């Protein structure tokens, strides 16, 4: 496939991923509303919000980092998405996977948060640095089980390529890493709860404490960039988990079903649990999820 067409397909893929991320965010708002006994907003409410936010004028002036942070956020999401093959065998949706991309993916997942930290510090609102410091401490904590799970998978396949990891899982459900290395899967899926920032790990936005946290000062086009960045980051993360643990996908329908299942794992946990405090969350991630990750690595080494 020529590079030009590949780039065009990837651009289209990014737009589809943003739309998909907004749709699942809308479904989540609906699900949360139904759990609380409300009717809830329409599923396409996120699109209306995005449009309205774009049509607002802004006069907010802070520093240059303030303007750059949403770009980092959206850029981190798009970069992460472009590295992960979505559907195997469909060239348009297999993106730019290469040997060793797992390391880059592990970096890109946290890239947006780091950019956000710089921008929030520039916005001058006290809630922003508080939210960022809480988020970064939680991130440091859940990165440990996540990285251990990644190491376990890489040691199992003897490769740091996501494509190789998918290919090693073919041939039946029991070949999926979810069952082939359950301890690593447990560690990674618990780290996923922390990554998605739903309860009990929603300590960054913490509605009753630091109302919206880092994006307090962002409005208008900056907010729209952050909303779309968040949407594509969510999609990229669930696609990554599908590739790593659920054997990838050979059709768009399979990818849809598997990603929905992975995402709703965190939503359903989030709907019924209250929030941890920051130090509780850190202690939780450094406790038995980390033990499970280490055991997953050992399991691979012993076999």
Partner 1 sequence: MDNKPKSTLPVLVEPPKGAQPHGPLGHGYFLGETKRQQALPMRESLAKIKNWFRANSLWVMAYGTGCGGIELRPLTTARFDFERFGMAMRPTPRQSNVIIISGYLAVKSLKRVIRAYEQMPSPKWVVGLGSCTINGGMYWDSYNTINRLDLYVPVDIYIAGCMPRPEALLAGFGELMKMIKRGEANGWNHYLENFDWYKENQKKVINDWNMPDYNW
User: Can you list the alpha helix ranges (DSSP code H) found in the chain?
Assistant: 3-35, 45-54, 64-83, 101-123, 127-157, 162-167, 177-180, 182-196, 220-245, 252-272, 278-285, 288-302
Two tokens, residue 139: 């991130």
Task: Give the shortest CB-106-to-partner 1 separation in angstroms.
Answer: 32
What is the total residue count of the chain? 303
Q: Whose structure tokens read 């496939």?
A: 1
Contact 200, 275 (CB under 8 A): yes
Contacting partner 1 within 11-30 (CB under 8 A): 29
Stretch that binds partner 1, among 40-48, 164-172, 179-187, 234-242 (CB under 8 A): 40-48
When binding is defined by CB under 8 A, the residue of 37, 172, 174, 272 that contacts partner 1 is 37
CB of 74 to partner 1, least distance (A): 17
> Which tokens belong to 85?
């093959």
- Name which position in 48, 173, 253, 298 contacts partner 1 (CB under 8 A): 48
Q: Which is nearer to partner 1, 123 or 259 (CB)?
A: 123
Nearer to partner 1, 39 or 302 (CB): 39
Q: Is 59 in the site for partner 1 (CB under 8 A)?
A: yes
**Chosen residue from 7, 12, 33, 252 binding partner 1 by CB under 8 A:** 33
**Which residue in 27, 219, 291, 299 binds partner 1 (CB under 8 A)?**
219
Footprint of partner 1 on 117-156 (CB under 8 A): 125
- Closest to partner 1 by CB, 40 vs 70, is 40
Phi-psi region of 23 (alpha: psi -120 to 50; beta: other; left: phi over 0): alpha
- At its nearest, how many Å lie between partner 1 and the CB of residue 206? 11
Name the residue with tokens 């996908």: 249
Distance in Å, CB of 47 to partner 1, minimum: 9
Rg (the chain; Cα; Å): 19
Beta strands in 96-207 (DSSP E): none
User: How near is the Cβ of 208 to partner 1 at its closest, in Å?
Assistant: 10
Residues 6+ apart with CB under 8 A from 25: 46, 230, 231, 234
**Shortest spacing between CB 301 and partner 1, in angstroms:** 49
CA distance 157 to 164: 7
Phi, psi of 120 (to 5 degrees): -65, -35
The number of beta carbons lying within 10 Å of the beta carbon of residue 67 is 16
Beta carbon nearer to partner 1, 143 or 209:
209
72, 201, 218, 284: which one contacts partner 1 (CB under 8 A)? 218
Binding status of residue 168 toward partner 1 by CB under 8 A:
no
Residue 44 Cβ vs partner 1, minimum distance, rounded to whole Å: 10
Whether residue 63 has a cis bond before it, omega within 30° of 0: no
Query: Site for partner 1 (CB under 8 A): how many residues?
Result: 32
CA gap 44, 92 in Å, rounded? 26
Minimum Å distance from CB 33 to partner 1? 6
Phi first, then psi, for residue 271 (nearest 5°) are -75, -20
| Site of interaction with partner 1 (CB under 8 A) | 29, 33, 36-42, 45, 48-49, 51-52, 55-61, 125, 207, 211-212, 215-220, 223
């Amino acid at each position: 496939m020529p590079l030009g067409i590949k780039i065009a397909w990837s651009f289209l893929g990014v737009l589809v991923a943003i739309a998909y991320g907004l749709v699942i965010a809308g479904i989540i708002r609906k699900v949360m509303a139904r759990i609380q006994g409300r009717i809830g907003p329409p599923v396409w409410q996120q699109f209306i919000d995005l449009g309205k936010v774009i049509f607002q004028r802004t006069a907010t002036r802070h520093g240059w980092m303030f303007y750059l942070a949403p770009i980092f956020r959206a850029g981190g999401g798009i970069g992460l998405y472009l590295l992960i093959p979505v559907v195997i065998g469909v060239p348009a949706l297999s993106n730019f996977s290469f040997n060793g991309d797992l390391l880059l993916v592990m970096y890109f997942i946290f890239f947006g948060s780091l950019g956000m930290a710089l921008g929030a510090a520039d916005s001058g609102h006290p809630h922003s640095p508080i939210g960022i410091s809480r988020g970064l401490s939680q991130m440091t904590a859940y990165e440990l089980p996540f990285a251990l799970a990644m190491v376990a998978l890489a040691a199992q396949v003897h490769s740091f390529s996501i494509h190789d990891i998918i290919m090693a899982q073919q041939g039946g459900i029991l070949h999926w890493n979810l069952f082939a290395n359950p301890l690593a899967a447990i560690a990674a899926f618990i780290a996923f709860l922390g990554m998605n920032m739903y309860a009990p790990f929603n300590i960054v936005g913490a509605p009753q404490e630091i109302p919206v946290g880092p994006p307090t000062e962002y409005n208008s086009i900056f907010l729209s960039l952050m909303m779309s960045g968040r949407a594509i980051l969510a999609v990229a993360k669930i696609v990554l988990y599908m590739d790593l643990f659920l054997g990838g996908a050979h059709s768009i329908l399979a990818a849809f079903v598997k990603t929905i299942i992975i995402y709703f794992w965190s939503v359903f946990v989030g709907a019924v649990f209250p929030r941890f405090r920051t130090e509780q969350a850190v202690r939780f991630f450094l406790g038995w999820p980390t033990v499970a990750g280490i055991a997953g690595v050992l399991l691979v080494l012993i076999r």
